[in-house]
Each structure stands twice: as C-alpha cells, then as structure tokens.
Amino acid sequence: MRKTTKRRAPRSEYTSPNQLSLSGFETPFYNQLAPSNRWVVLSKQIPWDDLVNMYSKRNPPKATGRPALNPRVLIGAVII
C-alpha cells in the first residue's frame, strides 16, 4: 500500500515593515488609516522583526497540517 502525502496550502510569509514599498501597490487599507490613529502609532513602536524571529525559533513550521498564520497577526492579537 502506497502512503499518500498531504498537499499543503500556500503559506503567507512574513513581510518586514522595514521592506521598501512601491507606490501604487499598497493595500486598500493603507491610504484609509490616519497616521495619528493610536493603533498605527503603536504598530510603529513595536519591534516586529525581533518578535517574529523569537516566535519562529520557538514555533518552527511543520511539514504537515494547516499552514501557520502570519506571526505578526498572532503577536498583534496577543497585544490587543
């Protein structure tokens, strides 16, 4: 009997907030949030890259099962 392997869904990779962006390719919410919004201000103060690296070391990706969420989503949910 042949063992079948499960195909994984595409995983959304973490993108650093320090990555350069091209104008015209922003998300729909990018232009709608005010820079003075308290959540926007807080998100700029959080060291996302450091937190994602620590999270990824403690929770490495698995070879099977449902793909993981973007670590920034998980960390943001804990902060909220």
Between 76 and 65, the more confident residue is 76
Tell me the mean pLDDT in the region 5-22. 66
Long-range interactions of 72-80: CB distance < 8 A, separation 24+: 72/14, 72/48, 75/46, 75/48, 75/51, 76/43, 79/42, 79/46
Rounded to whole angstroms, how far apart are CA atoms 4 and 12?
A: 25
pLDDT band at 71 (very low <50, low <70, confident <90, very high): confident
